[in-house]
Amino acid sequence: MKVYSGKDIRNVGVVGHGNSGKTSLVAGFLHAAGLTNRLGRVDEGTTTTDFDAEEIERKVTISTAMAYLEWNKTKINLLDTPGYNIFINDTLASLVAADSSLVVVDGVAGVEVQTEKVWEYSAHYSLPRALVVNKLDRERASFERAVESIQQCFGRTAIPIQWPLGEEKSFHGVVDLLSMKAHAYESNGNGKGKSGDVPQEASAAVEAAREKLIEAIAEGNDSYMEEFFDKGTLEPEHAVQGLQEAIAGGKLFPILCASAYHMVGIDLLLNFLTEFFPSPVARNTVQGTLPGGEAVERKISDEEPVSLFVFKTIADAFAGRVTCYKVLSGVLANDAHLVNFNKESSERLAHISLLQGRTTTAVPELHAGDLGAVAKMKESLTGDTLGDKASPILYPPVKLPEPAISFAIAPHSRGDEDRLGTALHKILEEDTSLRFYRDPQTNEFLLAGAGQQHVEVIVSRLKKRYNVAVDLKAPKVPYRETIRGKADVQGRYKKQTGGHGQFGDCRIKLEPLPRGRKFEFVNEIRGGAVPKQYIPAIERGIVETAEKGFLAGCPVVDFRVILYDGSYHTVDSSEMAFKIAGSMAFKKAMEQAKPVLLEPIMNVNVYAPNAYSGDLIGDLNGRRGRIQGMDSQGDRQVIKSQVPMSEMLSYASDLTSMTQGRGSFSMEFSHYDVVPQQIGEKIVAAAKAARSGEEMPEEE
């Protein structure tokens, strides 16, 4: 593989809603460039970038894959990203390595929920964008309807620079509106069209589309506008230059058309990527900080000290950890010794390579702006910065949304238990949107992800990659307890034995605190009624008892204890006696202070077409949800609500059923609120029954 300098590289994120044809499009690019003997098919599991066993089985992209090709003396690095909601965090994490986005839109469905989300991600990184309407060979596909959908969502600055020839099954060619040349393709050809004149039957539509395009290009530049007013058009070279400037500046977003399945328009798309998308060095500089936190800029140039950013980690069962990075400055030579500035450790990059799906190709060096990979690095993980020890810099890691749903996870057997920790550690390195932790209240191990399918994929990977079987179940809801009233009680512990006895006596007041204040202990002892050395023991007794709960075994929160009086015995008093006295006082106070259960309330955003809004709102109300508002996004609604966590445990599958898979949701913790009395009584009764069952002796 030839080594390319930054000006001859294009780093393109291929993004879009799930099933819009991103992976098929990448397969078409690779086939057109002569890198595959036949066109890879998603339904056959033969594409280069969907190589994981789970992706082949489910026929969806689960994590971003890299590929590259050479076209018109330019190297194009492609990032084939996930498009389904539960895997889309990986798209956000990977786009940090892109310099432009190719947004794929289904020619039948038009703009969908995740199309809008990846558009926002691309805007977040200030990436130049273009859209390609794919699958125009399908039944009910319509380029004009798709364009209308795009412009409704993203504005009139999204404008066609191509026009299709034929519709649905008869879609066979593409007109380039800049050159006014038609390109016809053979069915299932090699992706290279035959150039000719625009057919008479399409000339009226093509002329109208070209006029709108030229006017849009001219609007972005005063000199072009004058030329347009004088001549009614632009010189071909001015039109091309004006479009390049408008794309780079985020003023225009070209719309192209294709059928990846039949290789129609693929060569024109590759021409577009090389001619109109900017190179990484065109960005000029990248922002970072010094280890002390001071802001600093680094020029994207071969002349600068070497630095690179790790944007993805792949856990390969055979190759081990594969680290994917972007060279942001300098020239990275094979076998380089760099410093990981995040971990303050040294790394040797032996055998730097390029990734073509899962296949690696060794290269001697990589220039500023290029993407690469290296296996078996010691400590470097996603979000780390490596570079020359003499020129430290830290690039900011990508901040991903917190997981939406958790599942309790337990090893299926003792053998699985021994291997689980190591296997999960490798998977967590690869997928930074996952969380694995132990709930201190329920003592369950929880695996948290973006949705049920996300967690199920991880469980399947554990089995297939590492031969670790685990059982999944819905987690226990982390209820809390609190008080609504006040109490004033005495806790007195006295025990007389043959020798020294035990004596501790305290008087406390218990009162509620505002939600979220947790616990306060106030010492108002005067005159030595309780010696100072025993006061921490009283607090400890109260805290430990509160952790065990009063109603349903859930921790008690948001309360204040005021210790104001007590008594002691010079011989029989001890820390243990006062700890027990504090515990007794707390239990007695809870009986009087109107204890209630609290439940976690979640902020829930539901995204779905307008047609489903009524049903979704009714369903959320039925889950004890409170609707906070609604926002329109084209023909879709965002329903904002607050819903108890206990009502959301099965929501992912229910939403899929209600919206035929067209809805998605996000969820994050908001606050705790009081459980309604009827529901609270059932929870308390179930907790008491569980405790009594545990205490019953086993039958012989």
Bridge partners, 310 (sequence order) = 325
> Distances from the Cα of 680 to the Cαs of 44, 674, 685, in angstroms?
52, 9, 9
What's the token pair of residue 129?
């964008």
What end-to-end distance do the CA atoms of the chain give, in Å?
73
Q: What is the CATH number of the domain that holds 456?
A: 3.30.70.870
Residues 24 and 16: their CA atoms lie apart, in Å, by: 12
Q: What is the CATH number of the domain that holds 543?
A: 3.30.230.10
Whether 583 and 564 map to the same domain: the answer is yes
Q: How is 387-436 classified by DSSP, letter by letter? A: E-TTS--BPPPPPPPPPSEEEEEEESSHHHHHHHHHHHHHHHHH-TT-EE
Whether 72 and 16 map to the same domain: the answer is yes
Q: Which of 427, 402, 313 is nearest to 54 (CA)?
A: 427
The pLDDT value recorded for residue 439 is 74
pLDDT value at 403 more than 80: no
Number of structural domains in the chain: 5
Whether 190 and 133 map to the same domain: the answer is yes
Q: Which of 637, 635, 451 is nearest to 60 (CA)?
A: 451
Q: Residue 117 is inside which H or E element, if any?
A: helix 113-124
The pLDDT value recorded for residue 74 is 97
Mean pLDDT across 39-56 = 90
Q: What is the pLDDT of residues 160-211, one digit of tens each?
A: 999 999 999 999 999 999 999 999 998 767 778 899 999 999 999 999 999 9
Q: Residue 113 is inside which H or E element, if any?
A: helix 113-124
Q: How confident is the model at residue 315 (pLDDT cuts 50, 70, 90)?
A: confident
Q: In sequence order, what are the residues at sequence separation of 6 or more whose Cβ sits closer than 8 angstroms to the Cβ of residue 143?
A: 107, 133, 136, 160, 163, 164, 167, 257
Q: What pTM, to 2 d.p., does this model score?
A: 0.78
Q: How confident is the model at residue 442 (pLDDT cuts 50, 70, 90)?
A: low
Whether 12 and 68 map to the same domain: the answer is yes
Whether 126 and 259 map to the same domain: the answer is yes
pLDDT value at 366 more than 50: yes
Q: What is the CATH number of the domain that holds 634?
A: 3.30.70.240
Whether 10 and 156 map to the same domain: the answer is yes
Q: How confident is the model at residue 696 (pLDDT cuts 50, 70, 90)?
A: very low
Mean pLDDT across 617-621 = 95
The pLDDT value recorded for residue 171 is 95
Whether 422 and 539 map to the same domain: the answer is no
Residue 511 lies in a domain: yes
Q: Decide which of 593, 622, 648 is a domain's last residue.
A: 593
Which of 385-389, 451-455, 566-570 has the weakest average pLDDT?
A: 451-455
Residue 206 lies in a domain: no
Whether 534 and 424 map to the same domain: the answer is no
Q: Which of 256, 278, 253, 279 is nearest to 269 (CA)?
A: 256
Whether 489 and 366 map to the same domain: the answer is no
Q: Maximum CA pair distance of the chain?
A: 113
Q: In sequence order, what are the residues at sequence separation of 6 or more whose Cβ sits closer than 8 angstroms to the Cβ of residue 193?
A: 173, 174, 183, 184, 185, 264, 265, 267, 268
Residues 609 and 116: their CA atoms lie apart, in Å, by: 13
Residue 227 lies in a domain: no
Three-state secondary-structure class, residue 225: helix
> Distances from the Cα of 578 to the Cαs of 321, 483, 506, 637, in angstroms?
55, 24, 8, 59
Residues 563 and 522: their CA atoms lie apart, in Å, by: 6
% of the chain exceeding 70 in pLDDT: 97
Which of 38-47, 160-169, 281-290, 689-698 has the weakest average pLDDT?
A: 689-698
Residue 688 lies in a domain: no
pLDDT value at 78 more than 70: yes
Residue 90 lies in a domain: yes
Residue 127 lies in a domain: yes
Residue 31 lies in a domain: yes
| Phi, psi for residue 675 in degrees, rounded to 5 | -75, 135
The pLDDT value recorded for residue 472 is 86
Task: Write out the residue range of the structural domain in which residue 604 sits.
Answer: 599-675
Residues 80 and 14: their CA atoms lie apart, in Å, by: 5
Mean pLDDT across 451-466 = 87
Q: Are 10 and 52 in contact (CB under 8 A)?
A: no
How many helices and strands in the chain, by DSSP H and E? 16, 36
Whether 153 and 22 map to the same domain: the answer is yes
Q: What is the pLDDT of residues 572-595, one digit of tens each?
A: 899 999 999 999 999 999 999 999
Q: Residue 578 is inside which H or E element, if any?
A: helix 575-592
Q: How confident is the model at residue 217 (pLDDT cuts 50, 70, 90)?
A: very high
Q: What is the CATH number of the domain that holds 307?
A: 2.40.30.10
% of the chain exceeding 90 in pLDDT: 69
Mean pLDDT across 234-263 = 95
Q: What is the CATH number of the domain that holds 143?
A: 3.40.50.300
Which of 54-63, 94-103, 320-329, 473-482 has the weakest average pLDDT?
A: 473-482
Q: How confident is the model at residue 232 (pLDDT cuts 50, 70, 90)?
A: confident
Whether 15 and 133 map to the same domain: the answer is yes
Q: How confident is the model at residue 634 (pLDDT cuts 50, 70, 90)?
A: low
Q: For the chain, give the mean pLDDT.
A: 91
Q: What is the β-pairing status of strands 158-160 and 162-165?
A: unpaired
Residue 415 lies in a domain: yes
Residues 599 and 493: their CA atoms lie apart, in Å, by: 34
Q: Decide which of 544, 571, 593 is a domain's last residue.
A: 593
Q: Decide which of 593, 620, 654 is a domain's last residue.
A: 593
pLDDT value at 699 more than 60: no
Which of 57-66, 177-186, 329-338, 465-474 has the weakest average pLDDT?
A: 465-474
Whether 466 and 492 map to the same domain: the answer is no
pLDDT value at 529 more than 80: yes
